[in-house]
Chain A
């Protein structure tokens, strides 16, 4: 039985297809970390993955387990170097995202005196300028998919993003394969209608005439995923 969370992890993993020998970085939580590890263990074996602290792991441990083999050291200073070097594809989160993929993790409201101070821009400006970037957004709503973000942290296709690959949500996969680099509905997850995605998006979304259904994991991929996440932490991260 395939769950929505399984589909989301695989859709995030697909973001790394073709990346080769670069760091596949998840920002934490279960889904993005599982996605990088699933991709490495299946269709993208050259990927580098890390333990969430500063080790590049030689093996691919289950979620929350330490590696048995270490193949490299990546303290924060080298992580920041790697961002500028570009051999890294990160899957970030966003509190707000607009039509061109500009994202905000800094604050809500006027920056000078925000209604809600969030994290700060963190590494999002450099990540999006220098590296391939994808997004995982576990709750697809008009509060997140907004006409205009309050503080551009990660830059979009209209502001010089290096390579925005895809946005995976609990409902759909979106990309920027349009003439003006605006967001397009690439696929809907099994059981989700196009109308639901459009209603959950607070700006005009390009919807092709034929919208495919997001690929479901194969039996082999599900086996790997269950070994990586026997406690199914991924289910708790995906809005129903």
Chain B
């Protein structure tokens, strides 16, 4: 079932993934808000001794849980939300207590940071952010002027280069080819390409030959050349949405907000 077992297999456990992380690393986390977050991998990080992480994320409960556990030095994000519950309680508390540093970007700037890193460029220019307080609160941001006739001033979004990316997809083979079957790829391929090492968890490991049985070739989002390790983790998105395998568990998410914990994981 795990395909070319033996040669080329990258199958490992969530604990082995977490053990490969070091304090102070920059970790990108795929998904969006409370959608297809690699919560099984995040839970393993919570149980590990690492700390002082820089977490790069279209943020959801991944960011909240890591903040609550004191794992985070800095969050890089355009938002942190649980979607059906707009405000993430642990991220809020950490910000209001002054416990974490925050690099707050516009959503499009954030995408360009990932795109720059994926293409190994130092930055990409964009209009998003100009005129806003994003430039005030991130004084390290620079602008550039178009070298062409228009001379337009643009924000130079620095590459969001990652030490490690953690993503959760629907299916993967043992060598790390990973497939999404839901309606939206989010930005998981960009996280994989922006990172020195990418770990993929999946709902189900399948033979390479079976990948196209459930989705078209366009659903093969991440190539094994980008992947260091694969973890089979059924239910590995926790209470976040992982269509078509399951939707968001709203009741479990509500309990998380009320108690500050997700009892079924971590």
User: A233: CB under 8 A from chain B?
Assistant: no
User: A121: CB under 8 A from chain B?
Assistant: yes
Q: Is the CB of A76 within 8 A of B32?
A: yes
Interfacial chain A residues near B78, Cβ < 8 Å: 120-123
Interface residue from B87, B126, B184, B185 paired with A118 (Cβ < 8 Å): B87
B84 to chain A, nearest CB (A): 10
Residue of A nearest to B59 (CB): A120
How many positions in chain B have a CB within 8 Å of any CB in the partner chain?
A: 38
Taken together as a complex, chains A and B put the C-alpha atoms of A152 and B136 apart, in Å, by 9
Q: Is the CB of A129 within 8 A of B131?
A: yes
Q: Is the CB of B186 within 8 A of A76?
A: yes
Q: Mark B69-101, 1 if CB is under 8 A from A, else 0.
A: 000000001111100001100011001101000
Give chain A's interface residue range (CB within 8 Å of chain B): 35 or more
Q: Mark B179-193, 1 if CB is under 8 A from A, else 0.
A: 000011111000000
Taken together as a complex, chains A and B put the C-alpha atoms of A122 and B137 apart, in Å, by 15
Interface residue from B59, B86, B98, B129 paired with A126 (Cβ < 8 Å): B129
User: B47: CB under 8 A from chain A?
Assistant: no
Q: Is the CB of A113 within 8 A of B132?
A: no
For window 100-135 of B, CB contacts with A under 8 Å fall at: 104-109, 111, 126-134
B114 to chain A, nearest CB (A): 10
Interface residue from A53, A54, A80, A120 paired with B104 (Cβ < 8 Å): A120
Interfacial chain A residues near B92, Cβ < 8 Å: 116-117
Describe A's contact surface by its main secondary structure: loop
Q: Mark A106-140, 1 if CB is under 8 A from B, else 0.
A: 11000111111111111111101110000000000
Interface residue from A83, A114, A119, A153 paired with B132 (Cβ < 8 Å): A153
Residue of B nearest to A151 (CB): B133
Taken together as a complex, chains A and B put the C-alpha atoms of A155 and B130 apart, in Å, by 9
Q: Is the CB of B109 within 8 A of A107?
A: no
Q: Mark A132-158, 1 if CB is under 8 A from B, else 0.
A: 000000000000000000011111000
Q: Is the CB of A115 within 8 A of B96?
A: yes
For window 130-154 of B, CB contacts with A under 8 Å fall at: 130-134, 136-137
Known A-B contacts A119-B86, A120-B79; A159 and B131 likewise in contact (beta carbons under 8 Å): yes
Across chains A and B, which 10 residue pairs bring their CB atoms closest together, nearest first?
A: A126-B128, A120-B79, A159-B131, A125-B132, A117-B95, A155-B131, A152-B133, A123-B107, A125-B106, A126-B108
24 contacts between A and B (CB under 8 A): A55-B183, A75-B184, A75-B186, A76-B58, A76-B187, A84-B108, A84-B127, A84-B128, A114-B96, A119-B81, A119-B86, A120-B77, A120-B104, A121-B104, A121-B105, A122-B107, A125-B129, A126-B106, A126-B126, A128-B131, A129-B131, A151-B137, A152-B136, A155-B130
Interface residues of B (CB under 8 A from A): 32, 58-59, 77-81, 86-87, 91-92, 95-96, 98, 104-109, 111, 126-134, 136-137, 183-187
